[in-house]
């Protein structure tokens, strides 16, 4: 009987030893996989940050003012060139209604139409006169497009603004000169 118990114990110890060795090997393999995943995540995170910085530098080097608004028309991001163009800081604009800040009442129908298009996923280009912080009005050419989240839901829109005041003034001067010439 003692001999059978010893043999059973030895068999159990051998099985435990084999299972412990298998568990150790599986743990080592898992540790290796985890290290590989961590390196991959770190590499991709670095690439994402670099891509975002490159995109940001490109945007900030262009003479285009970008403004992002949410579906309620509230400003969620104002890029530097847009702030320079309008005289506001981003902090002054965040959370404000873009129409209330920039758009004269007689132009709001155009914005309403454009916002409806954005909600349907449509982009558009249009001219609009906006008011700067100091009260001066400028003409801008706006290229607007919907903003999407990771699940392809429309969460707002982005407008790329280009100051065309000089061109509009020249156009008006030419119209006046033509009227004078014709009369």
- 118 burial level (CB within 10 Å; 0-12, 13-18, 19+): buried
Q: Are 156 and 76 in contact (CB under 8 A)?
A: yes
pTM, to two decimals: 0.69
Mean pLDDT of all residues in the chain?
A: 92
User: Do β-strands 124-131 and 137-148 pair in parallel, antiparallel, or remain unpaired?
Assistant: antiparallel
Strand spans (E) along 13-87? 65-70, 75-78
Confidence band of 62 (pLDDT split at 50, 70, 90) = confident
pLDDT digits (tens, 9 = 90+) for 8-49: 889 999 999 999 999 999 999 999 999 999 999 999 999 999
Residue closest to 75 by CA, chosen among 108, 55, 100, 107: 100
Closest by alpha carbon to 99, among 135, 73, 120? 73
Residues 158, 160, 165: CA angle, nearest 5 degrees: 140
CB atoms within 10 A of CB 93: 22
Please measure the distance between the N-terminal and C-terminal CA atoms of the chain and give it in whole angstroms: 129
Question: What's the pLDDT at 42?
Answer: 93
Work out whether the CA dihedral 33, 39, 45, 50 comes out positive or negative. Answer: negative
Residue 2: predicted pLDDT: 83
Q: What is the pLDDT of residues 96-131, one digit of tens each?
A: 999 999 999 888 888 888 988 898 999 999 999 999
Residue-level pLDDT at 6: 87
In degrees rounded to 5, what are phi and psi of residue 150? Answer: -65, -20
């Amino acid at each position: 009987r003692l001999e059978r118990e010893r043999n059973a114990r030895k068999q159990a110890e051998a099985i435990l030893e084999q299972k412990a060795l298998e568990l150790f090997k599986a743990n080592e393999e898992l540790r290796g996989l985890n290290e590989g995943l961590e390196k991959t995540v770190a590499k991709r995170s670095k690439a994402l940050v670099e891509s975002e910085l490159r995109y940001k530098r490109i945007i900030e080097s262009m003479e285009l003012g970008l403004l992002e608004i949410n579906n309620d028309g509230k400003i969620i991001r104002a890029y530097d060139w847009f702030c320079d163009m309008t005289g506001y800081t981003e902090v002054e604009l965040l959370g404000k209604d873009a129409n209330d800040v920039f758009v004269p009442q007689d132009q709001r129908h155009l914005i309403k139409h454009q916002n409806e298009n954005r909600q349907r996923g449509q982009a558009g280009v249009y001219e609009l006169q906006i008011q700067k912080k100091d009260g001066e009005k400028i003409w801008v050419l706006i290229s607007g497009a919907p903003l999407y989240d990771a699940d392809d839901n429309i969460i707002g829109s982005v407008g790329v603004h280009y100051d065309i005041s000089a061109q509009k003034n020249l156009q008006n001067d030419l119209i006046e000169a033509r009227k004078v010439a014709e009369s």
